[in-house]
Amino acid sequence: MDLILIEIVSVVSFIYSLLLMFFPFTSLNKIFIVFIWTNLSSLIFALNYKRKKIYNISILLLLLPLLFFKDIVAITFILMNTILMFLYIRNSLLQGNHYEYSEKLKKSYLAYIAAITLAFLGGVLDNFIVYSIPFIIISQVTTIILIRTVRHLDSGMDMENIKRSNRKYIGVVSILSSMVALDGLRNIIFSIVGNIYRFIIDVIIKILYYPIILIFYLMNKLIVFIEGEIKKNNMESLFENMNVDNYESIEQVEEIIPRSFPMLERIIGFLLIITTIYIIYRLIVKVGYREYNAREYTEEREYIKDIKIEKKKTREKYPKEIKEQIRFYYRRYLEKLNKRDIEIKKSDTSLDINKKAEKFSEERIEKIRKIYIDSRYGDKDADKKVVEEMENLYKKL
């Protein structure tokens, strides 16, 4: 149920972040209450719809907010959200592995860029800042937690360790949710972010203002020069009209040019938001993904590297420590796969490797993987019997 709830919160917050750009049907406080109800109702439906067909009507719980919000914007939002959640739970819930969830995370950024573009063209970019950003944060955090959890499950990690780790992240989500629910805290944060945003826009406009003045000034001088050439075709007129020390002309141009450029500010703001999303993607999501990869699957990259080194050595020394002995035989296992023309990539997990090794006994390679995972990450202490079992499994392949 934990995994179902995490995925539901991830999907619901993603849907909210997109729809609220165009359908902000009430205040953010009330929207957050509807958000909580949507998650609970979706969870009830997800846990019960497969039992009997009659339980399919539990999806109607998502329509309950229509009793309180009856305008066309609210009706549109709630109906669209209900349909999307119904289809997702029926067709996609818990249907992916960690690679597929990672791809969905990457595609979500394209969806945000497309939605922001439409919001910009439709003049509702403010809705993105006020309504969408809180749910984007919740969506991104829960999606990363989901990917991390699925990766752990795929690699056979201990479920208790997963739950302990997830509690920390759920605490982060709770704090982020409080930001949405509490007016005072949310307003302070939005005020700080808004001030930073306006400051950056103001600085960029001021930087661009004088180049714009200079462009208009040079255009003015060019026009004067051309007119002078037409009227007086002599060198005196040429130098007079090309006098760059004519500050009066600059002042006149500066009076004509307005101090603010609303459309330019909107364009810069749009580019600033897109840039921010890209930076977040690079610095947080990418780094987080690499961190999980390094923490959980170092052994595959490490062993593949060792296999390449083995070509230069006649024999690898047999380690003294029990756990290192198990890793030793796991490397021998990988070498045997390489000799059988089974390609092993640096990104492959132990589960991926076993899927590729389908020509071998499934029972034996699964035992090899289990001994390795338990020794590498589990709380169980290995002994000589386990090492002997690992050696026998490897040799009998």
Please indicate, yes or no, if residue 252 is contained in any of the structural domains.
no
- Phi and psi angles of residue 312, each rounded to the nearest 5 degrees, phi first: -90, -15
List, for the chain, all residue ranges whose pLDDT scores fall below the cut of 70.
1, 154-159, 161-162, 166, 169-170, 172-174, 176-187, 189-190, 193-194, 197, 201, 205-206, 208-210, 212-213, 224-316, 346-347, 377-381
Cα distance between residue 78 and residue 69, in whole Å: 9
Please indicate, yes or no, if residue 171 is contained in any of the structural domains.
yes
Do 150 and 16 share a domain, yes or no? Answer: yes
Two tokens, residue 295: 């923490």
Task: Return all residues near 226 (Cβ < 8 A) that are at least 6 apart.
Answer: none
Please indicate, yes or no, if residue 265 is contained in any of the structural domains.
no
Please indicate, yes or no, if residue 224 is contained in any of the structural domains.
no
Cα distance between residue 120 and residue 25, in whole Å: 19
Please indicate, yes or no, if residue 119 is contained in any of the structural domains.
yes
Amino acid at 261: F
Q: What is the domain extent for residue 314?
A: 296-395
The domain boundary residue, chosen from 181, 214, 240: 181
Please indicate, yes or no, if residue 202 is contained in any of the structural domains.
no
Give the pLDDT confidence of 82-96 residue by residue, as tens digits.
Answer: 999 898 888 888 777
Per-residue pLDDT at 309: 43
Cα distance between residue 287 and residue 289, in whole Å: 5
Please indicate, yes or no, if residue 220 is contained in any of the structural domains.
no
The domain boundary residue, chosen from 141, 162, 181: 181
Cα dihedral across residues 324, 152, 300, 285: positive or negative: negative
Structural domain count of the chain: 2
How many Cα atoms occupy the beta-carbon half-sphere of 268 within 13 Å?
18
Cα dihedral across residues 252, 256, 262, 264: positive or negative: negative
Number of H helices, E strands in the chain: 16, 0
The domain boundary residue, chosen from 163, 181, 199: 181
Please indicate, yes or no, if residue 233 is contained in any of the structural domains.
no
Task: Return all residues near 312 (Cβ < 8 A) that are at least 6 apart.
Answer: none
Per-residue pLDDT at 179: 63
Cα distance between residue 232 and residue 230, in whole Å: 6
Do 305 and 173 share a domain, yes or no? Answer: no
Output helix, strand, coil percentages for the chain, rounded to the nearest 5: 80, 0, 20
Amino acid at 346: K
The single residue listed with the structure tokens 């002994």 is: 383
pTM, two decimals, is 0.52
Do 176 and 301 share a domain, yes or no? Answer: no
